[in-house]
Amino acid sequence: MTKILKWVGIIATGGVAAVFLLSVLWLNSTLPDYSKSLSSPDLTGTVLIERDEFGVPNIIAETFDDAAFGMGYVQAQDRLWQMEMIRRIVQGRLAEVMGPDMVYMDVTHRVFDQLPTVREKTSQRLDPDVRKTFAAFAAGVNLAIENGEGTSSPEWVLLGATPEPWSADDVSMFMEMNAQTADDGGRELFMAAQGLVLSDDEMAFHYQKNDPSFPTLFKDLERVHGHSNPTATSMSDDGRPGTNFFVVGPSRSATGSPILAVDPHLPTLAPGLVYPLMVTLPDEQLAGGTWIGSPAIVFGHNSKIAWGMTHMYADVMDYIVEKVDPNDPGRYLTPDGGSLPFENRTITIDIKGGESKSINVRYTHNRPVLNDPPLFRDGKVAAPYDTIEKVYGPGHVLVRRQMNIEVGALTIQSVLKMSRAYDWASFREAIKDYEWSNSIVYADIEGNIGVQMSGRLPVRKKVNGWDGQRLAHGWLGEGEWAGDIPFDELLHVYNPPKGWIADSNSRVVDADFPYRLTDSHSPPWRVRRAYALLEAKENHSVNDLVDMQMDSYTEGGAWLMERVKRFQMHTPEAKAALDRLENWDFVMDRDRPEPLLWAALELSLQERVMNQQHEVIQGLRADPLRLSRMLESEHPWCDLPTTQTAETCEDAVNDAMENALAKVSKVHGSN
pLDDT, average across residues 102-130: 92
- pLDDT for residue 629: 80
How far apart, in whole angstroms, are the C-alpha atoms of residue 517 and residue 437? 10
In contact, 321 and 337? CB cutoff 8 Å: no
CB 538 within 8 Å of CB 253: no
Instruction: Please tell me the predicted confidence (pLDDT) of residue 152.
Output: 79
Helices (H), 51-127: 64-91, 95-98, 103-107, 115-125
Q: What are the pLDDT digits (tens) for 541-565?
A: 999 999 999 999 998 899 899 999 9
Are 459 and 482 contacting, i.e. CB atoms less than 8 angstroms apart? yes
Burial class (CB in 10 A: 0-12, 13-18, 19+), 644: exposed
Which 8-state DSSP code applies to residue 109? I
Tell me: the pLDDT tens digits for 165-221? 999 999 998 777 655 444 455 778 888 887 877 788 878 877 776 666 677 888 776
Q: Is the peptide bond before 514 cis (omega within 30 degrees of 0)?
A: no
Query: Mind listing the pLDDT tens digit for each residue in 420-475?
Result: 999 999 999 999 999 888 999 999 999 999 999 999 999 999 999 999 888 999 99
Q: How many CB atoms lie within 10 A of CB 52?
A: 10
CA–CA distance, 245 with 648 (Å, rounded to integer): 41
pLDDT greater than 50 at residue 83: yes
Say how far apart CA 598 and CA 584 lie, in whole Å: 10
What is the rounded CA–CA span in Å between residue 655 and residue 651?
6
Between the alpha carbon of residue 326 and those of residues 130, 154, 361, the distances in Å are: 50, 56, 20
CA angle 142, 78, 59 (to 5 degrees): 75
Report the share of the chain in percent with pLDDT over 90. Answer: 61
Phi, psi torsion values for 321, nearest 5 degrees: -90, 125
pLDDT digits (tens, 9 = 90+) for 496-509: 999 999 998 888 88
Quickly state the pLDDT bin for 227 (edges 50, 70, 90).
very low
| 452 strand-pairing partners | 440, 492
Compute the distance between CA of residue 480 and CA of residue 403 in angstroms, rounded to an integer. 12
User: Over 437-457, what HEC string results?
Assistant: CEEEEEEECCCCEEEEECCCC
Q: Per-residue confidence at 615, pLDDT binned at 50, 70, 90?
A: low
Buried b (16+ CB within 10 A) or exposed e, 131-150: bebbbbbbbbbbbbbeeebb
50 by DSSP, 3-state: which?
strand
Average pLDDT, the chain: 87
Confirm if 113 and 127 have CB atoms less than 8 A apart: no
pLDDT score for 23: 66
Bridge partners, residue 297, by sequence: 290
Backbone angles phi, psi at 41, to 5 degrees: -70, -10
Whether the model clears a pTM of 0.75, i.e. scores above it, the answer is yes
* Tens-place pLDDT, residues 11-47: 666 667 776 766 676 677 678 888 889 999 999 999 9
Distance CA 178, CA 634 (A): 40
The residue-averaged pLDDT of 586-590 equals 94
Calculated CA dihedral for residues 40, 46, 51, 56, nearest 10 degrees: -70
Residues with Cβ within 8 Å of residue 40, at least 6 apart in sequence: 69, 139, 143
Cα three-residue angle 167-171-176, rounded to 5 degrees: 135
Pairing of strands 331-333, 458-460: unpaired
Nearest residue to 248 via CA among 437, 530, 622? 530
Cβ atoms of 275 and 290 within 8 Å: the answer is: yes
Q: Is the pLDDT of residue 143 over 70?
A: yes
Q: Looking at residue 314, what is its pLDDT?
A: 87
pLDDT greater than 90 at residue 76: yes
pLDDT of residue 166: 96
